[in-house]
Structure 1
Amino acid sequence: MNVKEIEIHPGHWINPRSGAVGILNEVIEARKVAKRVYEILKTSNVPCTYYEDNTSTNQRQNINYLVNQHNKDRDGLIVSIHLNSGGDGSKAIGTEVLYYDQQALAVRISKAISAATGGGLINRGAKQRKDLGVLASTYEPAILIEVCFVNSVVYAAIYRRDFEKICFAIATELAKCLGESLKPSTSTPTKSKEETKMANSLTSTAKEDLKALLKTTYQKGILKVDHSKKVSSMTDGEALGLLISVVKRTL
């Protein structure tokens, strides 16, 4: 693959209901990931561009806008960022990368995202799709990254916990396509023990839901200890660990 720049865009258009909606919102999160990957590449002087659709009002307009933007030249690698949806949110779901003819790259990025989360986001691998507009109608090579599923409490927590690692993993593989490497300064900063202990990104609603869930699982004997009173002081990692235990014991 002989490309001169990485061309990144988040999927869908500006309407937050234009993508998948669950515990995570695809439109909002895809923009966060796409922008962060772009920032990491830019900081390392890796040639890249960023597009987002703030004008369309339907899917056809959106696909046409993105295809037209990318087809203005033929020297880039197109990277479309999405989040997936499906199932009941309790099964083993993770990350995957869709491709038209870039199987090897899709395999590497799916593997890298999974590895960045310690296997928490299960590697669903590369899947060929020749029916998707951005993959089929653009001149340049293209991949579509489904970072994770929006409808799983467990996987949403993994995504939030490892957001920086996921973005760095994606950026690392994209940089390699141009024969580039990332600067050390773009890597994820190491948090102190105090910062890690204090880290808890759950919203107030999520905390209340988690308290209720932990109370119920304790009353039903699924968990032997009542952790519901400790939710406010839990780290994201501790909350995630308990959620994984609950899911595993109730399947």
Structure 2
Amino acid sequence: MTIQENQIKQNIARIWDVSSETYDSQQGHGIQSEMEREAWKSVFKSLLPPGRLKVLDVGCGTCEIGLLFAEMGHHVTGLDLSEKMLAKAREKASKKGFDSVFEKGDAENPPFEEGTFDAVVNRHLLWTLPHPDTAVTNWKKVLKKGGVLIVVDGVWNDGTLETKARRFVSDFCTLLAERKNPRKGHYSREINDELPNRHGVPPEKTLEYFKNAGLKNVKDLDLKDVREIQKKKMPFRKRIAYNYEYHLICGRKIN
């Protein structure tokens, strides 16, 4: 890692340190209803092999998604650059009595031996990585043979006039209702310039990363049903902009 890349990742970690205070209360991040919780579990159960699995939630944040796997009886390891995100994750796991463990580390280069995990999962991570292709390759390495990689991401800004209008109305209403700048805390231009998918990751791009990494039995699942459940708990000012292309890509390590 170059000095510049290290500095970029330190800056990213600081931004998520700040975000940790409100992350779980934000629509689309924290799970806001039992219906949404069960919807996520249903999706994941359909993709996992049987038995109690070792699951890596890479770029786990507060481990909102990873701890769903703990609820399903699996052993979860969380990895993140942000110490404050990890602190929130540890607190949540402790309150629920889970034996999950959490480590600080780089999501692009998880510090684990090859063939350690039965499943690697992440949500809203791929878009924020400077080297997503390298990350997917390294996630495959830490999987056991037959293990599954699950990536949840979306296209947050497709650049269309409709999306721009929705975001403008949403930001304006949020500014009026909450008396705060809804874009405060977003990445700087310096960071964005290092991210090839800074507006989100189209499914075809994620599929390309999976193919290049040699993952097999790759599936592309549209998560519009989960998104619609999430929208039910959102105020209008958030719901109007929550019209993303939202998807899950999964694949297996055959060899």
Alignment TM class, shorter chain as reference: under 0.3
Task: Give the TM-score normalised by the residue count of structure 1.
Answer: 0.28
TM-score, structure 2 length as denominator? 0.28
Bigger Cα Rg = 1
